[in-house]
Structure 1
């Protein structure tokens, strides 16, 4: 995942690798991709696929005539678009996993049950809820007791790095609350998010199902989500939402941009993710 993210214009915000599936929260960095030079596009694409001789000649510094350069630029524009496409990212990731698994099992044919599912996270509330849902997968499945013992998750990696006062390489960093001239990153404070996930994990303990702790982290107040709604989201985020996720205002705005008249799950967005 991290190797592919370095090639694509995508950053990993959260992940959880389970025994028979995995979850990813990705950020599409189209602004960075738009600044790539022709050389950088070809170099990145070459790490994934074979490139035509015309591209190899360009990388070697050979002279290209006007028609050749126009053709190469046209092809590179397609590659740039694909390197910002989650579908292409998932294609590369799933295909490599399928090949390795089939080689280990000595078989061939389809490895994955079906195509991946995706949801667009439209605001801070949806982002925080989805990230926590992903990070708490092992706890909900009762295969880990705490976030720091949740193997193969981004939360474990973040906690291990936080002990040294750092943020891990290969993950989109936390950069604090939204403000002017905000750098690229997650719009929360790392300490607040870790506290939120730890609190949520304790409340989601299968042996204490339904318990609502009173000492909810203050980040929930800033997001405007009640503790009870938050814990419901941590258990049911994937099953309750389809496609667009966020406040009703954010969903309606996205529908207008996409020329959609209606979005599935908008009632849950109204109840769980919209300001009272």
Structure 2
């Protein structure tokens, strides 16, 4: 039985969430249609640009994303603290970047004089918008509905573009975040449509690489909605990804080498015992499994068994799916 989104998201436990949207019947509605040979690759640009735009509007930033031919992966970080500091004007400005708002909110932003009663109504409306601007459900809704309308207009048809609901997975600790980011960024490589880091088109890692190579140029605006890595600009704490970009890139390169190598036993040990996996506490025999099967091994919560039990308690659940893979992949240190 489907669970409500509210029961799957607990910002008190974690601000990080892995979200997946799939095209109906898993059709290649954003890639090349194998039946007709017609290319819809340009729609990947639509999705990527919309993701980065929404990150500039919502109090939600992006850790990583990958736009594939028939599905989209995105890891989001909800910034509740920033949203709560937004006053009425800031909130309305952000909302009006996507939607028209109401006649009163339009008048307010135009500086037209309002009555006391109208000011109260505007403040009440802004409160609703502020909640929506820190909501993962509203973020994904504004992504999926926009792309569906645009694609249907191009195809001159109506009907569903995406499956009914997007899937979300709470990432409860740093190891879950690292494994899931590697899983997302390497999606094109595992699918056989990329051979190097610079071939990982329509992924966040390629945007970050291009921005690093073109400082002060075109690519920089794209990174504004991306969560910075730990070493970036001296920012620490929850506002960063808790490891460096260089170490993460090295990890992705080693993962690529491992995937294409036949010497799996040696590679598993060398992959884990060098760099981030070892630092983060992964065993040699679990890292590859964690970053390759993390989506399918877990339901809506990913992390150690201890963090999952805390999530269970805070969300008042009777049972928690995924305890066995949690113990196997995230509980035992190197």
TM-score (norm 1): 0.92
Say if 2:55 and 2:226, in contact at 8 Å, map to a contact too. Answer: no
Query: What displacement does 1:144 show?
Result: 1.1
Among 83, 86, 92, the residue aligned to 2:136: 86
Among 126, 131, 145, the residue aligned to 2:176: 126
Aligned to 1:221: 278
Report 1:143-182 matches (<5 A): 143-163=193-213, 168-176=223-231, 182=237
Query: What displacement does 1:170 show?
Result: 3.3
Say if 2:283 and 2:332, in contact at 8 Å, map to a contact too. Answer: no
Query: What displacement does 1:14 show?
Result: 0.3
Q: For structure 1, which segment, 69-78 or 114-123, has the greater mean C-alpha deviation from structure 2 after superposition? A: 69-78
Q: Is 1:109 aligned with 2:164?
A: no
Cα distance in 2 for partners of 1:209, 1:136 equals: 20
Q: Is 1:70 aligned with 2:124?
A: no
Query: What displacement does 1:58 show?
Result: 1.6
Q: Is 1:194 aligned with 2:249?
A: yes
Say if 1:159 and 1:194, in contact at 8 Å, map to a contact too. Answer: no
Q: For structure 1, which segment, 209-218 or 228-237, has the greater mean C-alpha deviation from structure 2 after superposition? A: 209-218
Structure 1: 5+ residue stretches without partners: none
Aligned to 2:316: 259
Structure 1, residues 46-95: CA drift from partner, whole Å, max 9, x if none?
11112112112222223333322222211211111111111111111111
Aligned to 1:208: 262
Q: Is 1:2 aligned with 2:35?
A: no
Say if 1:212 and 1:228, in contact at 8 Å, map to a contact too. Answer: no
Structure 2: 5+ residue stretches without partners: 1-50
Report 1:3-18 matches (<5 A): 3-18=53-68
Query: What displacement does 1:126 show?
Result: 0.5
Among 42, 45, 48, the residue aligned to 2:95: 45
Say if 2:56 and 2:224, in contact at 8 Å, map to a contact too. Answer: no
Cα distance in 2 for partners of 1:212, 1:176 equals: 31
Taking only aligned residues, the RMSD between alpha carbons, in angstroms, comes to 2.3
Cα distance in 1 for partners of 2:262, 2:213 equals: 28
Distance 1:209 1:149, change over 3 A: farther
Per the alignment, in what secondary structure is the counterpart of residue 62 of structure 1? coil
Query: What displacement does 1:164 show?
Result: 5.7
Say if 2:173 and 2:303, in contact at 8 Å, map to a contact too. Answer: yes
Distance 1:189 1:23, change over 3 A: same
Query: What displacement does 1:182 show?
Result: 3.1
Query: What displacement does 1:262 show?
Result: 2.1
Structure 1, residues 223-261: CA drift from partner, whole Å, max 9, x if none?
111233111122211101111111111111121111113
Aligned length, in residue pairs: 274
TM-score (norm 2): 0.76
Query: What displacement does 1:212 show?
Result: 4.6
Cα distance in 2 for partners of 1:21, 1:236 equals: 16
Among 172, 182, 185, the residue aligned to 2:240: 185
